Structure 1
Amino acid sequence: MSSSTEGARTASLPDPNAHHRFWPSRLPRRISPPATSLWHNLVVSAQRYPDKPALVFFDSVITYRELHDQAERLAAHLRQHGVQDGDRVILLMQNCPQWVVAHFAILRANAVVVPVNPMNRAEELRHYILDPDARVAIVAADLAGELLKANSEVSEAERLRHLVVSHYADTIGPQAEIPPAWAEWLGARHALPTPPGGTASSWADALACTAAAPAHNRGPDDLAVLPYTSGTTGLPKGCMHPHRTIMHNAVAVGMWTNSTSENVGLLVVPMFHITGMVAGMHAGVYGGSTMVLMPRWDRELAGRLISRWRCTHWTNIPTMVIDLLASPNFDKYDLSSLVLMGGGGAAMPQAVAQRLLEQYGLRYCEGYGLTETAAPSHNNPADHPKQQCLGIPFMGTDARVVDPLTLQEMPQGEAGEIIIHGPEVFDGYWKRPEATEAAFITFEGKRFFRSGDLGRVDEDGYFFITDRLKRMINASGFKVWPAEVEALMFRHPAIAEACVIATQDAYRGESVKAVVVLREAARGNTSEQAIVDWCRENMAAYKCPRMVEFVTALPKSGSGKVMWRLLQEQETAKAASAA
């Protein structure tokens, strides 16, 4: 490269401090979080606000004093049943008060939380027993059978030896308005299962423990949580998060969202997922706010809970907001208490964001992060958000866009891989030194995590997602980024949701296919060909879906993200079968 070319390239590189112009004036650019364990946050809030509601579940309330005391007793029970410092303990249940109690009890016992997706089946659960070497699990009664099935498929020496089993109904009051479809699920009683060669305790028996909990000895660098990433290939990998990485984002999220102890947050994003765990639960406990828990998404229940408990903050995924706004009962709900709404996982359609602004004065603030970055590594400033944008690098964070192959920084506006350096970045993958080494690079003398996401940065320092690094369609040499096509398709008035995948094409190699969910009013009077024709009129020819398939629903993960990989695998298998 000539010197003149190098000069032009350097001149066009993004200014890593450009976003400082839009930084909230009331906030520092980096913070010094408490040099204590996460358990200490609950101790402090319980001392400050002993009688304040910490958790709301349907019609029942648990105060901060009760949350603290229950976690203390459960921690003592865990130690009685062999949980030692640094041991990994499985936590398997939907959002409920017991999840929060169990999470803090594990931390109180100087152990490590292994949060597991409750949608997993036995074959998947087997990995969460074996990989973290777990011997104890805290599990919801309706999921215990599946966990024990997985347990029976591992060697005797590697099996779980103790279960604590809870029922959702134990924390639901008599006046609860339960969605009819959930009544049997939430109200069902299950016999206490016992692992072969092991023991089991009911939730009530565990909380009746009168022994003393062990002396708490965890510090900032001790392992606290081991959440697993789904990954693109192979088995999920455990992300090692010490107390300090979670602590940083728990504190920073509260500051960023202008939170106080008077916050009332709606927690419907699953807490087994890093966003619900950190931005919802840990930020809430640190600040002493009230957390209104939902075990699953239901738009009518969400509308009632926001209205009844006067929720002020709601972290969500855009599909939830879209669903609530589409409710035939929407006019009955009072959302006027909401002061901040945001989330991530998918782009918020511009039309929906505009409706929130016009009807409620709410600017939807999108954020971005991964399991490896303890949720937010980027967030939109509440006063200066950009729509369908990841936001700016979070507190204390340096993020860049580099060429995935050469690892050289990309010019402003050009797509490359997003890399992240900051206090929220995990320590590495559990028992995977090779994967850990591959996940990090040294850039400008600092250790950066390779996100695997493609994005670009604009002249203001705001980041925009392009796509997953490996989610690209190569159509006759043209690179098609599915997220871009999906964003364009969202503008069609008949389309509620769309997922773009690759389909085999004898001529082009690959072509674009769209799996589409139509809005209810459009069903029966909109054809696949009509969607194709519209796309041809609204985007470049090489991006246009050659095929459109209508479905009633898109498959979603436990955290609500569209499982595009599953659809891609199904399409690939279909093509192989036809061949």
Structure 2
Amino acid sequence: MLSRHFDHWPKRVPRSLVVPETNPYHNLEVSAARYPNKAAVHYYGGEITYRRFLEEANALAGFLQRDLGVAAGDRVLLFMQNSPQFMIAFYAILRANAIVVPLNPMLLTRELAFFVADSEPKAAIVGQELYDRIAPLMEKTSLKHAVVAAYGDYADRGTDLSLPDSVAADRKEIDHPCVTLWDTALKLQRRPEPVRFSPDDIVVLPYTSGTTGQPKGCIHTARTVQANTVGAAVWGNVSAGNVPLSTLPFFHVTGMIHGMHVPIYAGGSVVLMTRWDRETAAKLIERHRCTHWTNISTMVVDFLSMPDVTKYDLSSLSYIGGGGAPLPEAVGEKLHELTGMRYVEGYGLTETIAQTHINPPDRPKLQCLGIPSFDVDARIIDLDTRKELGPGEKGEIVVRGPQVFKGYWRRPEETEKAFVTLDGKPFFRTGDIGYYDEEGYFFIIDRAKRMINVSGYKVWPTEVESILYKHPKVQTACVVGVPDPRRGESVKAFIIPREPYRGKVTEEEIIEWSRGQMAAYKCPRRVEFVDQLPMTASGKILWRALQEQEREKAKRESGDGS
């Protein structure tokens, strides 16, 4: 196990942690007992106390068990945008001894069908603006019931803050025997059965994708979730007095851990946004005296580009950090000038329920993954020989730690391939290429997996290509990631049109069609029509050559390559 990074370990922070052998639901119980009248969530002028949060989580858990027949080990879809209902539902599902399956609210019905077939959920808890997407799957699949929520029920409609459309919308009435409105479910005041669990019970099944683009559920237990929840709280010096601004989506593991579980564990007050809006974020920081903000670097870029950003009082902030994409050095300096703080970057995966690496807050390096987190053994191995490499040598990042998942849901062969044995111990293969420096800080330089990172969302080119091939005018498609100053990367499609349509099909036509076929972040933002694509002797498309071509073009256009 590497140890050189301990020379830069944060002061007054232990080098090792004992992971609680409790369900994350217990964190809510403890905080509600300690701070019953304290705000657990601030939501567009509305406030939910810890007492109310716990009472509603218990009432929903009772409804799931007694009315919907949800039993221990059953899966429940959580298909919502960030909202108090997402948070309450998450803990309610845990209270019901069931497994949370959080899904990206940008998914369309065709995409949802896969996740329903794979996880076989008994019920779903859904935002009302998303109900129409999941309705076609009701009754025809394992999904037999949905609880539908209106986010605006928890907001103050008289607030001066700008409300997202989904929050401003009035509550809809849905007349369907398999649908219960959120408010109706809570008013029944069902009492849940006793909590029964072990720290190794599965509690959440977030989905990631593999090199083939096939989504895979990552099995996380109470123990793996608690490891990063407590670890993040200790690393960030989070306490009941902290007020985090939560802007990252909760279905994603970083938002889930840092934006929801950590403050609930500590008894803090979450200032919650359903959709990112820089002006609203600035007002909320000033109004609620926010202390912590975990984000993706593209949010910081957007935030700092506000012409009047200096008019807001941001002095309460004591910690700003995140991951997903490197923060440009110039932006990091601008952030430091404005707030006096250095951006704290971290690194993790869905398979590790967020961080395995994080920068020391008092000695961070920009565009750096950081140092291994609590009890994480991280190494660099040669891609071919799997031999362990030394400082400055480039290879695959592999990790072992208490937050590493227990395998892919119902995919034993994929699970076996995801690990490598070093010194007689299993290490998870991240698929990311990097190195560590003489001080033990890790850096990423490329990905072994063919993945595009769009504002922190993973896009698998093969999935997008398979959809593009359904277009009647597309003969061949190759999708790559291209540099994007706002999103980190964006999706570009190289297309050979079918013979009758060459010179007739347009970029706008393909892009517009794509928007109706896949989540918005997956859609190509640029399309280039070509007569041929680079191929190997065996007929495989050389996607990497196209990607390198785009990167070189971006360098030339920015002046870096001239």
State the TM-score bracket (shorter-chain normalisation). 0.7 to 0.9
Offset from partner CA, 1:473-499 (integer Å, 9 cap, x none): 9xxxxxxxx99x95xx96xxxx99665
Offset from partner CA, 1:455-480 (integer Å, 9 cap, x none): 1111111000111113499xxxxxxx
State the secondary structure of the residue aligned to 2:119.
coil
Is the contact made by 1:53 and 1:61 (CA closer than 8 Å) also made in structure 2? yes
Offset from partner CA, 1:61-80 (integer Å, 9 cap, x none): 00111100000000000002
TM-aligned CA deviation for residue 439 of structure 1: 0.5
Mapped pair 1:38 → 2:24: yes
1:190 to 172, 197, 202: 172
Indicate the residue corresponding to 1:83 in structure 2.
Answer: 70
Give 1:148-227 correspondences, 5 Å limit.
148-151=135-138, 156=140, 158-179=141-162, 182-183=164-165, 186-192=168-174, 194=176, 199-227=178-206
Offset from partner CA, 1:259-309 (integer Å, 9 cap, x none): 111000001100000001112211111100010111111111111111111
Is the contact made by 1:397 and 1:420 (CA closer than 8 Å) also made in structure 2? yes
Mapped pair 1:130 → 2:117: yes
Question: Match for 1:40: what amino acid?
Answer: H
Indicate the residue corresponding to 1:553 in structure 2.
Answer: none
Offset from partner CA, 1:485-522 (integer Å, 9 cap, x none): 95xx96xxxx9966597975599973534489xxxxxx
- For 1:205 and 1:151, the matched residues in 2 are separated by 20
Is the contact made by 1:97 and 1:171 (CA closer than 8 Å) also made in structure 2? yes
Question: Match for 1:73: what amino acid?
Answer: A
1:380 to 334, 359, 363: 359
Indicate the residue corresponding to 2:502 in structure 1.
Answer: none
TM-aligned CA deviation for residue 99 of structure 1: 0.4
Mapped pair 1:60 → 2:43: no
Aligned residue pair count: 489
1:272 to 238, 251, 274: 251
Indicate the residue corresponding to 2:278 in structure 1.
Answer: 299
- Label 1:446 to 1:174 Cα distance change in 2 as closer, same or farther (>3 A): same
Offset from partner CA, 1:202-238 (integer Å, 9 cap, x none): 1111111233201101121100000000333242100
TM-aligned CA deviation for residue 82 of structure 1: 0.6
Indicate the residue corresponding to 2:433 in structure 1.
Answer: 454
1:102 to 86, 89, 92: 89
Mapped pair 1:536 → 2:561: yes
TM-aligned CA deviation for residue 530 of structure 1: 9.9
Give 1:12-31 correspondences, 5 Å limit.
16-31=2-17
- For 2:93 and 2:555, the matched residues in 1 are separated by 55
- Label 1:133 to 1:497 Cα distance change in 2 as closer, same or farther (>3 A): closer
State the secondary structure of the residue aligned to 2:249.
coil
CA RMSD of aligned residues (A): 2.5
- For 1:243 and 1:186, the matched residues in 2 are separated by 35
- Label 1:412 to 1:333 Cα distance change in 2 as closer, same or farther (>3 A): same
Is the contact made by 1:264 and 1:309 (CA closer than 8 Å) also made in structure 2? yes
Give 1:245-264 correspondences, 5 Å limit.
245-264=224-243
Is the contact made by 2:325 and 2:488 (CA closer than 8 Å) also made in structure 1? no
Segments of 4+ moved more than 4 angstroms? 495-509, 528-531
Indicate the residue corresponding to 1:543 in structure 2.
Answer: none
Mapped pair 1:70 → 2:70: no
- Label 1:334 to 1:386 Cα distance change in 2 as closer, same or farther (>3 A): same
Structure 1's unaligned 5+ residue stretches are 1-14, 474-481, 517-527, 538-579
Is the contact made by 1:78 and 1:109 (CA closer than 8 Å) also made in structure 2? yes
State the secondary structure of the residue aligned to 1:353.
helix
- For 1:130 and 1:57, the matched residues in 2 are separated by 34
State the secondary structure of the residue aligned to 1:465.
strand
Mapped pair 1:403 → 2:403: no
State the secondary structure of the residue aligned to 1:131.
helix
- Label 1:391 to 1:174 Cα distance change in 2 as closer, same or farther (>3 A): same
1:316 to 295, 304, 312: 295
TM-aligned CA deviation for residue 445 of structure 1: 1.6
State the secondary structure of the residue aligned to 2:168.
helix
TM-aligned CA deviation for residue 185 of structure 1: 6.1
Is the contact made by 2:8 and 2:363 (CA closer than 8 Å) also made in structure 1? yes
Offset from partner CA, 1:100-126 (integer Å, 9 cap, x none): 000000000000100010000001111
Offset from partner CA, 1:128-147 (integer Å, 9 cap, x none): 21111101000011101101
Offset from partner CA, 1:333-373 (integer Å, 9 cap, x none): 21111000000000000011111222211010000000000
- Label 1:216 to 1:529 Cα distance change in 2 as closer, same or farther (>3 A): closer
- Label 1:176 to 1:233 Cα distance change in 2 as closer, same or farther (>3 A): farther
- For 2:120 and 2:301, the matched residues in 1 are separated by 41
- Label 1:151 to 1:251 Cα distance change in 2 as closer, same or farther (>3 A): same
- Label 1:134 to 1:391 Cα distance change in 2 as closer, same or farther (>3 A): same
- Label 1:471 to 1:88 Cα distance change in 2 as closer, same or farther (>3 A): closer
1:392 to 363, 371, 379: 371
- For 1:354 and 1:497, the matched residues in 2 are separated by 18
- For 1:229 and 1:38, the matched residues in 2 are separated by 22
State the secondary structure of the residue aligned to 1:450.
strand
Shifted more, 61-70 versus 128-137: the winner is: 128-137
State the secondary structure of the residue aligned to 2:399.
strand
Is the contact made by 1:271 and 1:280 (CA closer than 8 Å) also made in structure 2? yes
TM-aligned CA deviation for residue 36 of structure 1: 1.1
State the secondary structure of the residue aligned to 1:215.
coil
Question: Match for 1:458: what amino acid?
Answer: D
State the secondary structure of the residue aligned to 2:342.
coil
TM-aligned CA deviation for residue 161 of structure 1: 1.1
State the secondary structure of the residue aligned to 1:431.
coil
- For 2:228 and 2:175, the matched residues in 1 are separated by 37
The TM-score normalised by the length of structure 1 is 0.80
- Label 1:274 to 1:21 Cα distance change in 2 as closer, same or farther (>3 A): same
State the secondary structure of the residue aligned to 1:536.
coil
TM-aligned CA deviation for residue 176 of structure 1: 2.1
- For 1:265 and 1:442, the matched residues in 2 are separated by 39
- For 1:506 and 1:113, the matched residues in 2 are separated by 43
- Label 1:178 to 1:378 Cα distance change in 2 as closer, same or farther (>3 A): same
Offset from partner CA, 1:525-567 (integer Å, 9 cap, x none): xxx8994482432xxxxxxxxxxxxxxxxxxxxxxxxxxxxxx
Indicate the residue corresponding to 2:460 in structure 1.
Answer: none
Question: Match for 1:96: what amino acid?
Answer: S
Is the contact made by 2:138 and 2:145 (CA closer than 8 Å) also made in structure 1? no
- For 2:324 and 2:202, the matched residues in 1 are separated by 26
- For 1:432 and 1:378, the matched residues in 2 are separated by 27
Offset from partner CA, 1:157-201 (integer Å, 9 cap, x none): x33111111001111113223436x3476314333153xxx6211
- Label 1:496 to 1:433 Cα distance change in 2 as closer, same or farther (>3 A): closer
- Label 1:240 to 1:497 Cα distance change in 2 as closer, same or farther (>3 A): closer
Is the contact made by 1:501 and 1:514 (CA closer than 8 Å) also made in structure 2? no
- For 2:136 and 2:312, the matched residues in 1 are separated by 43
Mapped pair 1:368 → 2:344: no
